[in-house]
Amino acid sequence: MDFAFKKQDDSSVTATTKTVPLTCHGHSRPITHVSFSSLLASSGTASQYYMISACKDNNPMLRDGLTGDWIGTFIGHKGAVWSARLSEDATIAATGSADFSAKVWDTFTGETLHTLQHNHIVRAVAFPPHDRPQILATGGMEKKLRVFDLSRASTNGATNGTPAVDTTPFYEVGAGEHQAAIKSIIWSRDPNILTTAADDKKIRWWDLRAQTQIASHEIDGLPGSCELNGSLNGNPHDGGTVSVAAGKNIYFFDGARPGQLVKHIKTNKEVASVALNGEAKRFVTGSPGDTWVHVWDYESESELETGRGHHGPVWTVCFSPDGKMYATGSEDGTVKLWKHTQGAYGLWR
């Protein structure tokens, strides 16, 4: 069902369309993170990509990104799942959990490929770009940024009732630099550069070749979200934009230039999550203080639209890889998909 609002003047007709969102049920507790795969195929109006959701019910879910249709649930975590991501080609998924582990999954069979044990809650996981799914970065309450080499994984078999132990090799980047929990990790489009957001109110950029910090930026609040979004110049092949929500602040950094702040927006209320559509010059936010989805104009920094339908705070937002839709995850245990383009798209006909 569509509601169309039109404004007409002497020269043109401008129309905007507001649609009812699709609701993805299945989770039983608050949603903590949603993310999409890359665009795997696109022909005319047809696109193919996938979406994964993390939840405090311990059970991350894989869905068709375009329709929200459930594909499968990854079973095995024994604690809340805080982060979930898909590899570039969507063949494997990774999740970070309160059970002190990160898991890597086969998205075709649902099988657990690796269980990477940590000494505290894992809050963030990230795959590199460019079809290199055999590397995984993790971080969390240990304040340690680890990079695992999944291609060299091995398992010590179970003996006398002792469970098998995954001995996947890893190295730590920037030991001792993080002074608080790592809340988010993103891999830039340069496979040598990682970005972390931590509760010591710093965004840091790391060069994996030297395994050292190359830039940092202090933020005015605890980070709520930190994601790599599309480019503001419309070029899909440049470094994109790093979007950060922290306290009452929204930050946009140049994804190709570590530490380079492009815009800082101060708002009048707390922001839990932000996602940018660079081509459309629009961004979407969720807040811990209300149940609405807020759509903003990037240039004027004015709110354009409010999406209503959730029954709890919106903790996570993410644009689809083609920018024609965005997903929101809420305290109410649902994921909603919102159309962000004119005309027919997906199930909106």
For residue 85, pLDDT over 90 is answered with yes
Q: What is the pLDDT of residues 173-222, one digit of tens each?
A: 999 999 999 999 999 999 999 999 999 999 999 999 999 999 999 999 99
Q: Which pLDDT value is given to residue 349?
A: 82
**Of 120, 123, 153, 118, which Cα lies nearest the Cα of 135?**
153
Q: Are 151 and 113 in contact (CB under 8 A)?
A: no
| Average pLDDT of the residues in 42-62 | 88
Map out the domains of the chain as residue ranges.
Answer: 23-339
Q: How far apart are CA 155 and CA 293, in angstroms?
A: 44
Q: Which pLDDT value is given to residue 132?
A: 62
Report CA torsion sign: 285, 225, 99, 91.
positive
Q: How far apart are CA 229 and CA 239, in angstroms?
A: 9
Q: How far apart are CA 235 and CA 344, in angstroms?
A: 24
Q: Which pLDDT value is given to residue 6?
A: 27
Q: Which pLDDT value is given to residue 8?
A: 30
Q: Which pLDDT value is given to residue 153?
A: 78
CATH topology of domain 23-339: Methylamine Dehydrogenase; Chain H (2.130.10)
Binned at pLDDT 50, 70 and 90, residue 41 comes out as confident
Q: How far apart are CA 110 and CA 11, in angstroms?
A: 56
Lowest mean pLDDT among 40-54, 126-140, 268-282: 40-54
Q: Comparing 151 with 146, which gets the higher pLDDT? A: 146
For residue 18, pLDDT over 60 is answered with yes
For residue 67, pLDDT over 60 is answered with yes
Q: Are 197 and 203 in contact (CB under 8 A)?
A: yes
CB contact set of 289 (below 8 Å; sequence gap of 6+): 269, 270, 313
